[in-house]
Amino acid sequence: MKNKILLIDDDVDFIEATSLLFEAHGYDVITAYNGQEGFAKVKTGSPDLILLDMMMNYKTEGAETAKAITSDAAVRNIPIIMITGARKELGFAVDLVPNEKDLPVKMILEKPVAPEQLLQIAAKFIEKTGKQHRHLVGDLDSLARKWKDKRGNLIMILHEIQNTYGYVPREVAFELSRIIDVPLTRIYEVITFYNYFKLQPPGKHLISVCMGTACYLKGTPQILEELKNILNVKEGETTKDGIFHLQIVRCLGCCGLAPVMMIDKKIFGKVKKSDVAGIISEYTKKEGVKDAINS
């Protein structure tokens, strides 16, 4: 899938020449002739890189557009390069410096820009994030086509995302909202309604504590409390170091070994509260963590 570049500039000649340049080198190009149109196309087109002019309908339109883009959580991570002829148009030197508050762009280039330089800079930024972003968009497009017009398609798409990543990443939810034209609030309603879906990356090791009847009666509530104290997490949370994720399950199918807990695919049966610290230490030692207990 081709990487996509959005050009936002009111200079028709610049748009035409730059479009031809990037298309000739294998990019898809979207164009917009003012900030408002550009912001709309960022949202609908999900480009991998934005080239933005500073002075369009008014002198600070580019800066205002950059601020609008970077304040929107759905598109804020798309890199912006400002290309401006301000020095030439104003007739005096203009000191434009990228900064998070007033000019949230990655780089500022003065027009005219040599084609070779522009291609090299674009390739540099796309190499960092654009390829991964375009791969994500392509995968979500495929899922949308696969489940299009099928009942419960949103849940099935989310299941596939969960199975791929182990959770539903924020940026994936944003892209999915755009691609299938479903409000982001609806996507998060589904994610938060079902316990299966997770919004945070799972830990490297998944700890499952059985709360089935046999295990419950034989002491898993106490085992769970001990795990929470040792790891300093609640059920459904991941430790700060990302090593463990703690969850409750209704049955692990090992009632004869109750009380039972499982780490990844390894079953620990007839567990006592006093056993928990030792079991956890087996994994922290493997991970090179000196003292995870109550840390």
**What's residue 39's pLDDT?**
95
**What's residue 95's pLDDT?**
61
CB 203 within 8 A of CB 242: yes
Kindly report whether the global pTM for this prediction surpasses the value 0.75.
no
Rounded Cα distance between 246 and 238, Å, is 6
- pLDDT tens per residue across all 295 residues of the chain: 789 999 999 999 999 999 999 999 999 999 999 999 999 999 888 899 999 998 898 888 999 999 999 998 788 889 999 998 765 555 444 567 778 788 899 999 988 899 999 999 999 998 877 788 888 888 898 988 899 888 888 999 999 998 888 889 888 998 898 888 888 899 999 998 887 788 877 788 989 999 999 999 999 999 999 999 999 999 888 898 889 999 898 888 899 999 999 998 899 999 999 999 999 998 988 877 655 444 4
Phi, psi angles (nearest 5°) of residue 124: -65, -45
**What's residue 53's pLDDT?**
94
**What's residue 98's pLDDT?**
78
Residue 69: name the closest of 51, 90, 84 by CA: 51
Rounded Cα distance between 91 and 109, Å, is 17
Rounded Cα distance between 289 and 295, Å, is 10
User: Helices marked H in 148-212 — which ranges?
Assistant: 153-165, 170-180, 184-193
**What's residue 258's pLDDT?**
94
Rounded Cα distance between 205 and 199, Å, is 17
What would you report as the CA-atom Rg of the chain, rounded to the nearest whole angstrom? 26
CA-based torsion, 35, 36, 39, 44: positive or negative: negative
